[in-house]
Amino acid sequence: MAGVTDRPYRKLCRQFGAGLAVSEMISSNDQLRDSEKTRRRTNHEGEASPVSVQIAGADPAMMAETARYNEERGAELIDINMGCPAKKVCNRAAGSALLRDEPLVGRILDAVVKAVSVPVTLKIRTGWDTGYRNAVSVARLAESAGIQMIAVHGRTRACGFSGSAEYDTIAEVKSQVRIPVIANGDIRTPEDARDVLRKTAADGVMIGRAAQGRPWLFRQIEHFLVSGLHLTAPPVEAVKAIVVGHVEELYSLYGRVAGVKFARKHIAWYSQGWQGGDAFRRLFNQLDTCEEQQDAIEAFFRALASDVPQAAHQGETVLA
């Protein structure tokens, strides 16, 4: 979720019911520490507590130092990434590539836990490939090292994001450790969340791609799990206010040039399923200024508001 879960997006997710929103991945490479990207990712101004910062790397000492650095800058939780399947991460023996080397996993976990006074959490996959699912043994290592919570994505590194997530391994992890276990992977609807919780006995669920363009999904899931009822999707005017506020935060964080580029991908997600969304995305991707983007958003939602019966998101349950 690097490039997606920046501060404006995290604030939205928390606003709409997410119990925790983890930062974009921060490299443990100290040569990158003074880069503009890292400075931006370690700025948590206005974020709700607890502030969770995700770090990645393969050297125990560097990971420990990065954890300390982020604690000094406001991190209230340190999350270790051993789940990212991206080639540029795995090629550096980080992310989910670490699952092939359990002794190194143990050294990293020990070093980071000892380096900070805040809780440390861990994100993993079920293993390196379908022939080597070792999430249970890694979870035991994590518990022994003092990790406070573990999130498990129901795919191996080799799977990437293809195929379907499997939850049997997550259920086995939950049965073998006493620390909280969070289930992740292919949870797109309130019913998915309910079914995964039942199947795994996990303590919670983690949502990634499904919330892109609909951060209100967290509130809908929470409401459904508590009441068994579907929460009404936001009306057109409410979605407009969310989108307008989001892009303005992007312009503020990234500047008026880069902010335009970041806004494009979020608008692509927001506009999926709306009447005229395809044409709007094509237009929006050609706009080069904040003013042009803001005018286009205004025109798009004005058209939607005038044709409300056709404006509902496809695939979402809307209650009158």
Check residue 114 and give its pLDDT. 98
pTM attached to this predicted model: 0.90
- In DSSP notation, 301-315 reads HHHHHTTGGG-SPTT
Check residue 320 and give its pLDDT. 24
Check residue 86 and give its pLDDT. 58
Give the CA diameter of the chain: 61
What gap in Å lies between CA 11 and CA 7, rounded to an integer?
6
Check residue 233 and give its pLDDT. 85
Backbone angles phi, psi at 226, to 5 degrees: -80, -40
Q: Where are the domains of the chain?
A: 7-227, 236-306
Q: Which of 84, 90, 159, 290 is catalytic?
A: 84
* Number of helices followed by number of strands (H, E) in the chain: 12, 7
Locate 223 and state its tokens.
């409401």
What architecture is domain 236-306? Orthogonal Bundle (1.10)
Question: 13 an active-site residue?
Answer: no
Contacts of 122 (CB under 8 A, 6+ apart): 79, 80, 82, 109, 142, 147, 149, 150, 151
What gap in Å lies between CA 121 and CA 151, rounded to an integer?
8
Amino acid residing at 257: V
Check residue 265 and give its pLDDT. 95
Per-residue pLDDT of the chain (320 residues; tens, 9 = 90+): 778 899 999 999 999 999 999 999 998 887 777 788 888 888 898 899 999 999 999 999 999 999 999 999 999 999 999 976 655 554 555 666 788 899 999 999 999 999 999 999 999 999 988 788 999 999 999 999 999 999 999 998 888 878 899 999 999 999 999 999 999 999 999 999 999 999 999 999 999 999 999 999 999 999 999 999 999 889 999 999 999 999 999 999 999 999 999 999 999 999 998 989 999 999 999 999 999 999 999 999 999 988 755 444 544 433 32
Q: How many CA atoms lie within 13 A of 6 on its CB side?
A: 21
Check residue 311 and give its pLDDT. 45
| CATH classification (class only), 7-227 | alpha beta
